[in-house]
Amino acid sequence: MKHSHWAPIALVLLLAACANQPQATGKPNWATIEQAGPGGARISCVALEDFGNRYTTVDQSAFGVPLMQWDKDLPAFLISTAQACQQNYLQVFSQNGKLNQQNANAINRATEHIIRKIQVADRSISIRRSAVEQQVRQQDERREREAQDAAKSAEQADRQRTLAACQQTKEYKFFIAESLVIQSVENLQGWQESAKQEARISRESGVRNLSRDYTIAQWKLEAKDSLDEAWANYKKAGGKASSPYRVKQTVNDPCASPSPKT
């Protein structure tokens, strides 16, 4: 026979003649008996030959199971079953005195054809499964990232709500008022020191930089205004110091996040 795809068809006719079966069925009874395979597959010699003739894509079903749901052990089981069918066919022909080289070659080529189709299907299924599994992993990873991002966003929003609530407390307002007085004093003292330094330079050089004097005076006034405002807020918040220059930092930021432990 010149074409391998003829082998299963020829085998139907050969077995029908050899086994004294009507060509409508074309098979001895044992060839049609189904046995259970891995994953619930139903397998017979007839079903194997039908698969060899019809398989084209993994989107099919075979042996009562969609190919993409084949058990991982099914391909090896199918191949061993096809080989067992091959031996049964050879035995049938031998017992009926019909086993010549032509018939043996037809049976062997039919079996090889079936096994190749099983192997092709197995490789195609493995490729498709790998692609599906990768897609599932990517989807799982994306969902996990989204869940983590959502958890982080929720945690950040919770921290912001907690911080906003804390910043409305008397303790925090007093901490801010106290801190602003201290900062304002330091700022004013800095400009006062700058003014003294500029005066020393003028005395030493005999040259007075009026533009520089004006700038320093302007910043001193703004610093003094800021200190007056900070001092008023400090007293309003319950501060007990008798002078802004006596204010010390007595409390830490009650809304600060705790430092991570080392």
Alpha carbon distance 169, 177 (integer Å): 12
Q: What is the pLDDT of residue 209?
A: 87
Per-chain mean pLDDT for the chain: 85
Provide, rounded to the nearest whole percent, the portion of the chain with pLDDT above 90: 58
The residues, ordered by sequence, that sit 6+ positions from 30 with a Cβ below 8 Å of its Cβ are 45, 88
The pTM of this model reads 0.52
Answer yes or no: are the C-beta atoms of 15 and 26 closer than 8 Å. yes
For the chain, which residues make up each domain, given as ranges? 4-138, 165-246
Residue 173 has pLDDT above 70, yes or no: yes
Query: 172 vs 180, 193, 247, 249, 250, CA distance in Å?
Result: 12, 31, 16, 13, 12
Q: What is the pLDDT of residue 156?
A: 94
Q: Which residue has the higher pLDDT, 152 or 57?
A: 152
Structure confidence by residue, pLDDT tens digits, 211-231? 988 999 999 999 999 999 999
